Amino acid sequence: MKKLTLGLITILLVISSVFAASNDLEIFSWWTGGGEEEGLLALFAKFNQYYPNINIINAAVAGGAGTNAKAVLKTRMLGGNPPDSFQVHAGMELTDTYVIPGLMEPLTNYLREWGVYDKFPKDVMEIVSYQGEVYSIPVNVHRGNVVFYNKKIFRELGLTKEPTTWAEFFAAMKKAQEAGYIPLALGDKNKWTLTHLFENIMLSVFGPEGYKGLFNGKTSFDSPELEMSLVLLERLIPYFNRDHSALTWQDAGRLVFEGKALFNVMGDWEEGYFKTLGWKPGVDFGWFAVPGTDNAFMFISDTFGLPKGAPHRDNALKWLKFIATKEAQDIFNPIKGSIPARIDADKSRYDVYLTWSMNDFATVAVVPSIIHGSAAPEGFVTTLNDALNRFIVKKNISNTLRDIMWAAEDQGYLTE
């Protein structure tokens, strides 16, 4: 009797799970904290208004910048058990890891069918494409080449104009140093912030086209600009806070917030951080593009793609179509604190900083970030992190150049 009941229950469970499973949609991401989770849940809520029958499974894995989530995702992809759609940074993180091994479905035709292909900037479509096919849908955009500054200190030092050249930038830093402030806050305990600074210097020295060319073979890594970038980084070292290797990016931002440091080079998530600390954009803190890069937009974007063999492919396509709409992007981004990937979004929903960023995004050249996974494969990024981590102590330009060159060679960037 007992056996029979157990058997019946098992059969019922199996049947019900089969039926329930038929209308699921599993979305994999690392959005679990801050405004990002709320943004994601708001998206889910809106999606369910259109498709009330689809049961969304939120498969988010906690951990900063997706370090844990990426490992989990790789295991699932290896095991042939992909989610229906997953979050991935636009660029090499997507193409090198998933597209080239043949794990993703191209979306170009769907984008055309939904009439949204031309709603994204051309540069962006290029970054999410491989061999002419688009492989993911960008939902948000962050800008990486921004200098944030403390307005109170800025005024106190008698500065009126935001620096646009390195000469002006160094002059301002000198003033700050003489007045007893930290000129340029850095927190590179986790290494990537230093590379973040360096890629902005590279962008400034190479120019947007030259910088982009490094990763598509049009510019050689073996060019004098790379050395010039290192020289410029070395000139910046005396202006850092001495304890930079004990701090995280938030700690460095805090130095600006607490009125101890003047500048900090960061991405626009720092604007969100300042706002949570109670600062008002444009009143307490100002910003400008890293000197020499105001003609470029260092692009970091979260996207969603369609893995081959997605268990609920139809639902996944509905999801992708939904997040490509203006409506979805305008729901998600003001909450997350980023700008929409589409150029036709509703500007009235965004604050003064994000509006500035949106205007630039629509007009200047969009270039991929190395450190945030857009420009180069993960292996190159780790090697570059290491090389710069040594450089900041040893200040040995020729060794660092050699290390970077080797990394470039490993990735096949250095063909000659």
Partner 1 sequence: MSVQRRKSKIGFFIILPSLILIGIFVYYFIFWTIRTSFSDWNSFSKLLRGIYNFVGFRNYQRIFLDQRFQTDLWNTLFFTLFFIAGSIGLGLFLANIIDKGLKGSRFFQSLFLFPMAIAFVVTGTVWSWIFAPGNIPKDPQGINLLFKNIGLEKLQWLWYTSSESIGHFNLALIPVIIAAIWQMSGYIMAMYLAGLKAIPNEILEAARVDGANERYIFWKIKMPLLKPITLSTMIVLGHVSLKIFDLIYAMTGSGPNNVTDVPAIYMFELTFRSNRYALGSAISVIMLLMVAVIIIPYLYSSLRKGVSS
Binding site for partner 1 (CB under 8 A): 67, 70-71, 74, 77-78, 96-97, 100-101, 103, 180, 182, 188-191, 241-247, 260, 377-379, 381-383, 386, 389-390, 392-394
Min. distance of Cβ 363 from partner 1 in angstroms? 35
H or E element at residue 301:
strand 296-305
CB atoms within 10 A of CB 246: 11
Q: Would you say 1 or 393 has its CB closer to partner 1?
A: 393
What region, left, alpha or beta, does residue 190 occupy, with left being phi > 0 and alpha being psi -120 to 50 degrees? alpha
Q: How far is the CB of 146 from partner 1 (least distance, A)?
A: 24
Question: Between residues 222 and 251, which has the closer beta carbon with respect to partner 1?
Answer: 251
Q: How many helices (H) and strands (E) in the chain?
A: 17, 13
Q: How far is the CB of 379 from partner 1 (least distance, A)?
A: 4
Would you say 241 or 357 has its CB closer to partner 1?
241
The amino acid sitting at 63 is G
CB of 21 to partner 1, least distance (A): 26
Distance in Å, CB of 378 to partner 1, minimum: 5
206 near 219, Cβ under 8 Å? yes
Distance CA(43)–CA(27), nearest Å, equals 11
If the CB atoms of residues 162 and 386 are measured against partner 1, the closer one turns out to be 386
Which run of H or E residues covers position 184? strand 182-185
Least distance in Å: CB of 285 to partner 1?
Answer: 20
| Nearer Cβ to partner 1 (39/305) | 305
Q: Closest by alpha carbon to 286, among 142, 141, 146?
A: 146
The answer to whether the beta carbons of residues 139 and 303 sit under 8 Å apart is yes
Identify which of residues 74 and 280 has a Cβ nearer to partner 1 in the complex.
74
CB-nearer residue toward partner 1: 204 or 369: 369
- Provide the minimum distance between the beta carbon of 187 and partner 1 in the complex, in angstroms, as a whole number: 11
Residue 75: other Cβ atoms inside 10 A: 10
Residues 6+ apart with CB under 8 A from 8: none
Closest to partner 1 by CB, 220 or 382:
382
CB of 70 to partner 1, least distance (A): 8
How far is Cα 398 from Cα 222, in angstroms, rounded to an integer? 12
Q: Are 307 and 59 in contact (CB under 8 A)?
A: no
Residue 94's alpha-carbon distances to 111, 123, 137, 268, 299, in angstroms, are: 18, 16, 11, 22, 14
